[in-house]
Structure 1
Amino acid sequence: MRALLLTNIYPTRENPGGATFIRSRVRALTDLGVEVVPLAIWTTWTAPATVARALLRTADGTPAAGFPGLTAPLGVSQAVRRRLTGRSGSRWLEAVARAALDHAGPGVDVVHAHGMYDLPAGMVAQRVARELGRPYVVSLHGTDANEVLPRRAALYARVLAGAAATCYVSAALRDQAHRFVPAHPAAHVIPNGVDLSLFRPGPRRPAPTVLYVGNLERVKGVDRLPAVWAAVRQAEPDARLRIVGGGSLDARLRRALRDPSVRFVGRLDQSAVAREMAAASVLVLPSRSEGWPSVIMESYATGTPVVATSVGGVPEAVVRPHHLVPADAAVEQGLAAAVVRTLREGESARAGLTEVAALHSWSRVAEQELALYRSA
């Protein structure tokens, strides 16, 4: 079995530790005997377009070292169109599809696209699969279905309808997509997995420690952390907050959380993230939108409980209802109260969490995806 994996989600030069679920998926499928050819879908820029990119504040998106990518130059008009409409044009799409065909070589059995963002991997997969005479599968992970799909429903409908199967990381994400596009007869829910060799229990910090892991962006709800933390500290003066990650709200958060009890750790590789989770008392996830946040099962694998807003696929992952907080006007107070309650639960809050995480190993995910490939 040879699978061409085209992805909009991949480790970048700016965030080499990101999108680990793509690399983990490739390793797990390889362990099952699948020859996986992973390719990031990204763009280079013509010289004039580089200026336009800077003015439009568009991220570079260059894949991290060691992760292969497909690229085609994006001109000024295409750069502006992409920023304003989310479309890069048929010329760009055709160039990338040709490059994918050249790179893949002969013997591809299935094409699997991860993501339908501004440069939709699903569209490239559709073109490539048509040329190869092979089936394609499309997986949606979160923002693509929650934010991009409602704006581009007609495009999504065409791409998804032609797929042999569609995959969603949570039932909530599938249901969200089906509000805007017809339900696919072979729509599957396959959550991302957890690397159980990395994420496991370890030494804990002596002080009660609250941990945030993720991008420092509004969609992740990190702007809620200052109010949440003020309330937690009032109830638990000895508590400490550690923030792992980076993003556009980094400077703003540092200004709002100038307190000796708060430590900004920055971006870390997965091994270091696993140690942070194992050492924490509770992980907090204040997101506004989610597909299936991998940090929940990763935290569970270390035995650390999670307090989170009840959005997207989060309720499907969090096993204790009282650790879920409604995303309403009182969300900050609710998160703080749930964090304090969890800190005071002590060891009872950890009971059974590692067993839950074990049900979401990457080997299980790979087995489900391989079954899809064989039936496509």
Structure 2
Amino acid sequence: MRMVTISSLFPNKNDPKLGIFVKTRLRHFLATYQNIDLEVIAPVPWFPFKHKIFGEYAKYAGVPYQETIDGMTVYHPRYLVLPKIGMYLTPKFMAKAITRTLTKLHRARRVDLIDGHYFYPDGVAICQAAESLDIPFTCTARGTDINLIPQYPKALAMLRTVFDKAAHMMTVCQALKDEMVKLGVPDERVTVLRNGVDLNLFSASDNAKQAQLKAQGQINEKLVLSVGWLIERKGHHLIIEALQNLDNVRLVIAGDGPDLVKLKQLAEQCKVSERVQFLGGVDQPTLNQWMMTADALVLASSREGWANVLLESMASGTPVVATKVWGTPEVVKPESQGELVERNVADIARGIQHVLSKDVDREAVRRYAEQFSWKETCEGMMEIVDTIVKQSARGAIS
């Protein structure tokens, strides 16, 4: 079987952490089903300037057209992005970029199925490319593509075409499937395939090991970790403000993003800057070390599909405090020893204090995370793609 995965949310040479959740699912899928021949098309915005004054867009300038990532051949065709005014034009430009590369691959050897990720703009573009070459496609919803984008009527109209023409659709949590059903998608056309956690990459510290790690780092306070892109939606600002109500607590923030200066200024204004440390972007092994050291991880997002960082923290033995949005309550259950909170400073502070005051069994937190392996997800994905390819072959024969 030959598959092509298509998603703009996929790592590249200049941004190895981008869309790592898509790469991780593929890596486990290919390890489980080694008969799958898979390539990746990960389109990137066209941008000619590499200088850092151009911010995040400068990252795209040096991305090669073709590279190999974890043994997968990845193509990066360019598409035009018009900042702030191009929301409804981006799917068209992306479709043209995808179609050029996909056509070359399909002509060289037939592509049996397209595995698409993120419904907008990617899914809309994938739908157009797949239809032009008569290739069946699936699409996986991951968060804002379903819990935010459909609020725009013109975008929703484009999404409805994808809903109608996809061979099947997946979501990473039940909450996103429920929202798709509300939008009119038949229940039987959507399958929940939640993300798993890499239990080998994210090792756990028991209570003794965690104490040793804190001692090595000369950390005498309770250590709270916040992870994610530095933007309002991730809620780092709420955690900084919550520190004002928490004594003897140190906050470490891992992530890059446009709000770095603003968050540092907020820490100064709240008079907690001496208790806030900004790590910048870190790789997963480094993140695991911080998680093994932390007493709690806090995720104060306004929107999430299925937040991988929650399971990564729990796999490290660290309980979580998280806002109860979308798929998060499906992850943070009482037996995880974590706490669900409302998205406001007072309740976030309360949740942190509650978790920090408990006698947490870190080995039990790890055992809870171990039920979220990738095995079930990979099996479910294989059942879906195998059914579609067989149906497509029968249709071609008839």
Bin for the TM-score computed over the shorter chain: 0.7 to 0.9
The equivalent of 1:187 in structure 2 is 190
Counterparts of 2:284 and 2:150, CA distance in 1: 30
The equivalent of 2:88 in structure 1 is 86
- Do residues 339 (structure 1) and 339 (structure 2) align? no
For residues 269-308 of structure 1, the C-alpha deviation after alignment (integer angstroms, 9 at most, x for no partner) is: 1111111111111000111111110011111111110001
Counterparts of 1:127 and 1:273, CA distance in 2: 38
Greater mean deviation of Cα atoms: 300-309 or 169-178: 169-178
> Superposition RMSD on alpha carbons, in Å?
2.6
Secondary structure in 1 matching 2:263 = helix
The equivalent of 1:241 in structure 2 is 251
Which residue of 273, 284, 290 maps to 1:270? 284
- Do residues 130 (structure 1) and 142 (structure 2) align? no
Give structure 2 stretches of 5+ with no counterpart: 389-398
- Equivalent positions of 1:33-72 (< 5 A) are 33=34, 34-45=36-47, 59=57, 62=60, 66=68, 68-72=74-78
Greater mean deviation of Cα atoms: 304-313 or 24-33: 24-33
User: How far has the Cα of 1:185 moved from its partner?
Assistant: 2.8
2:15 and 2:59 in contact (8 A); partners too: no
Secondary structure in 2 matching 1:83 = coil
Secondary structure in 1 matching 2:85 = helix
Choose between structure 1 and 2 for higher RCO, CA contacts under 8 A separated by at least 6 residues. 1
User: How far has the Cα of 1:107 moved from its partner?
Assistant: 3.3
* CA 1:91–1:125: 2 relative to 1, 3 Å: closer
2:6 and 2:126 in contact (8 A); partners too: yes
- Do residues 295 (structure 1) and 301 (structure 2) align? no
For residues 154-209 of structure 1, the C-alpha deviation after alignment (integer angstroms, 9 at most, x for no partner) is: 11111121111111111111222333343353201111121111112134224321
Give structure 1 stretches of 5+ with no counterpart: none
Secondary structure in 1 matching 2:199 = coil
Counterparts of 2:135 and 2:18, CA distance in 1: 30
- Equivalent positions of 1:89-100 (< 5 A) are 90=92, 93-100=95-102
Aligned-pair identity (%): 26
User: How far has the Cα of 1:18 moved from its partner?
Assistant: 3.1
2:94 and 2:122 in contact (8 A); partners too: no
Moved over 4 A (4+): 63-67
1:126 and 1:159 in contact (8 A); partners too: yes
The code of the aligned residue for 1:250 comes to L
- Do residues 20 (structure 1) and 20 (structure 2) align? yes
1:137 and 1:163 in contact (8 A); partners too: yes
How many residues align structurally? 356
2:114 and 2:138 in contact (8 A); partners too: yes
The code of the aligned residue for 1:298 comes to E
- Do residues 375 (structure 1) and 383 (structure 2) align? no
- Equivalent positions of 1:277-356 (< 5 A) are 277-320=291-334, 323-327=339-343, 331-348=344-361, 350=362, 352-356=364-368
The equivalent of 2:242 in structure 1 is 228
TM-score by structure 2 length? 0.82
Counterparts of 2:225 and 2:98, CA distance in 1: 40
The equivalent of 2:392 in structure 1 is none
User: How far has the Cα of 1:58 moved from its partner?
Assistant: 7.8
Which residue of 371, 374, 384 maps to 1:359? 371
